Chain A
Amino acid sequence: MRWLWIDQIIELEPRKRLVAIKNVSLAEEYLHDHFPPGDGREALPVVPASLLIEGMAQTAGILVGSASNFSHKVILAKIVTARFDHEVFPGQTVRYEARLERLDSAGASTTGTVSYRPSGSGASAGSWLELGSVSLLFSHVGKSLSGLAVPEHNFVFGEHLNVLLQTAGLEDLKLKK
């Protein structure tokens, strides 16, 4: 259960869109390094934008992979655009909504929005506020990639994916062994 940057899949429209959430906890170690206290400043735990992109890549990757019942190895090929207008702090929940724009045997492109649910009891508490957008390009990996051998087993969609699918009530989509 490593390198998993979404907690739960909450909606799936096959081949169209997938929504996942991630609860950000101060127990996560990277937040203590991003950013630590120093030079008279207090610690400022902020989710790095690179991990928000990773969260969207996993959300969109599952959407792309589910279109072929996870039989293809789907890898992130290119971050086409990524824009974030707001930071995410511990205690907040991030919502990734990925939409499939294009899919064929070579790969897929997705667009998506990232939202967050503010903590506290302010006017906007409880509702999702959009904080940015990410467009990605995925490649279906064949037997070789620029002459490099690609492992036979599906290294992209591992066992932890089944847990995610199960908790989301999507057992039908389970990764075939």
Chain B
Amino acid sequence: MPESVVMTREEIYSNVREVLEEALGVDEDEVTLDASLTADLQAESIDFLDIVFRLEKTFSTPDRAFKVEPGELFPENLLENPEWVVDAKLTDAGMNMLHERMPHVDFSRFQEDRDVEKVAELITVKSIIDFVERKLAG
């Protein structure tokens, strides 16, 4: 890959910020690194699809498509697997799966709570930047 197409973290942040501003109708100064997409920026589940489409469009280049698989960036269909969730709480197996599939999300404060309804709140602006950075690095 020629050097000119390597994005710095700052450039990724700036692009992610623009995606979130447009998808969620929020102001630039609201898109801080620690802002939770659902709790702070009021994203709803359908906004996640919008965000994924916009990230793909923003970070794809003529040489390389930036393709986000369902469930790759945001957790999906957790309730459909009885091994992952029992009584609306993530099981150990469920936590392991999340850790493995979503290295871009910080689950440390979630170990105690494990309320499946709150998983989405863990996704922050930083999670998305980390996700994009990892994915671009291949």
Contacts and interface: CB of A to CB of B under 8 A. Distances in A.
A107 B50 CA distance: 9
B68 to A, nearest CB: 9
Contact of A77 (B49, B52, B79): B49
Interface string B39-79: 00000011101101100110000000000001000000001
Nearest to A142: B77
B75 to A, nearest CB: 14
Contacts of B70: 104-106
- Chain A contact patch, size range: 10 to 19
A121 interface: no
Nearest to A104: B70
Contact of B53 (A102, A105, A147): A102
A137 B45 contact: no
Given A102-B56, A102-B57, A105-B70, A80 B49 contact: no
Contacts, number: 27
Interface residues of B, number: 11
A146 B56 CA distance: 24
Contact of B49 (A101, A139, A146): A139
Contacts of B49: 77, 106-107, 137, 139
A78 interface: yes
A105 B49 CA distance: 11
Contacts of B56: 102
A91 to B, nearest CB: 36
A146 B53 contact: no
A139 B46 contact: yes
Nearest to B23: A80
27 contacts: A77-B46, A77-B49, A77-B50, A78-B46, A78-B47, A78-B50, A80-B50, A101-B53, A102-B53, A102-B56, A102-B57, A104-B70, A105-B70, A106-B49, A106-B52, A106-B70, A107-B49, A109-B50, A109-B53, A137-B46, A137-B49, A137-B50, A137-B53, A139-B46, A139-B49, A146-B45, A147-B79
Given A80-B50, A137-B49, A137-B50, 6 more contacts: A77-B46, A77-B50, A78-B47, A102-B56, A106-B70, A139-B49
What 5 A-B pairs come out closest when comparing CB atoms?
Answer: A77-B46, A109-B53, A107-B49, A102-B53, A137-B50
